Amino acid sequence: MRRATGARVDAEGVGLVTREGPVYTGVGFTARPGTLTVFQADSGGGRSALLLTLTGRMRPSEGSLHVDGHALPRYARRVRRTSSLGLMDEVNPLDERLRVREHLSEGLLLRMRPAGRGLADEAMEAAGLGGLDRRSLVRELSMLERRRLGVALALLDEPRLLAVDDVDGGLAPEHQAELWGTLQGLADGGLTVIATCADADGLEGVAGSDTQGPIPLRQEDGATRAPRGTGGASAAAPKTAGRRERRRRHTGPGILRGTRRKDGHHGRA
């Protein structure tokens, strides 16, 4: 698997506001290559929308956002080519009727360029599934194995930016720590990893010096300074959110063009 240098992410005052209200507001941080950045919010707190924005798959309402020097949303297509998503229920769910090897084959076919020999093996190993029987049906996998398979499928695109949603969802505390350890290992290898969670307790034992967060996502008025890590980060909601919402008349988040496959699922790249 190609070990390209991770992509730098620079965000300042990034937010998404719809007619129903703010989805997330005032996100500002810098993620350097080889780092793990973690955002924390409860379900419905804007976690998935933020990751879709950072990977060029959703258009923000406000703020300045650059990935690898490319301004978003203007250069969203370029960012999508160098970023990849782990499992996200409403975007790229696993098909429980398929076997693991069938998901891997599909992932290789969806790549925008030829795959090197052994890429699937390397991706599975990096995701912590080197010993998994690939004849297994997805419905037979544990929740941890499913999450890891989502990471492996994302790695098939050999991304420079990996986004993983809801890392702790449905996992026992010890399994959360194991998955955080895998993501930290990928970051230590040079990849830029951005992840979200509701409970970050499992992160404490594996976080390294280049880990920043958990950074709280906010939707309401008021300012919150987040813990500072590599490059520093903050997430705060502006006091003028209500006025801004009325002024912008944003019609909804909207997935950007070019991310939907013919079968209706959103692609990982």
Report if residue 226 sits inside a domain. Answer: yes
Q: Give how many domains the chain has, as a whole number.
A: 1
CATH of the domain at 86: 3.40.50.300
Tokens 């991706």 belong to residue: 123
Confidence (pLDDT) at 60: 97
Mean pLDDT of all residues in the chain?
85
Report if residue 176 sits inside a domain. Answer: yes
- pTM for the whole thing? 0.83
What does R_g of the chain's alpha carbons equal in angstroms? 18
Report if residue 30 sits inside a domain. Answer: yes
Report if residue 153 sits inside a domain. Answer: no
Q: What span, in angstroms and rounded, lies between the C-alpha atoms of 258 and 269? A: 9
Sequence-distant (≥ 6) Cβ neighbours of residue 168 within 8 angstroms = 176, 197, 198, 199, 200, 202
- Of all residues in the chain, the percent with pLDDT exceeding 70 is 80
Report if residue 66 sits inside a domain. Answer: yes
Instruction: Tell me: cis bond preceding 214? Omega within 30 of 0 counts.
Output: yes
Whether residue 267 is predicted with pLDDT greater than 80 in this model: the reply is no
Minimum mean pLDDT range among 51-60, 106-115, 155-164, 190-199:
106-115
Report if residue 151 sits inside a domain. Answer: no
- pLDDT by residue (tens digit) across 42-52? 999 999 999 99
Report if residue 3 sits inside a domain. Answer: no
- pLDDT by residue (tens digit) across 148-191? 999 999 999 999 999 999 999 999 999 999 999 999 999 999 99
Q: What span, in angstroms and rounded, lies between the C-alpha atoms of 216 and 202? A: 16
- pLDDT by residue (tens digit) across 115-153? 888 999 999 999 999 999 999 999 999 999 999 999 999
Report if residue 64 sits inside a domain. Answer: yes
Mean pLDDT of 59-72: 97
Whether residue 64 is predicted with pLDDT greater than 70 in this model: the reply is yes
Whole domain around residue 210: which residue ranges?
9-91+160-248
- pLDDT by residue (tens digit) across 210-254? 899 999 999 865 443 343 344 456 554 333 334 333 333 333 455
- Of all residues in the chain, the percent with pLDDT exceeding 90 is 72
Q: Tell me the one-letter amino acid at 267.
A: G
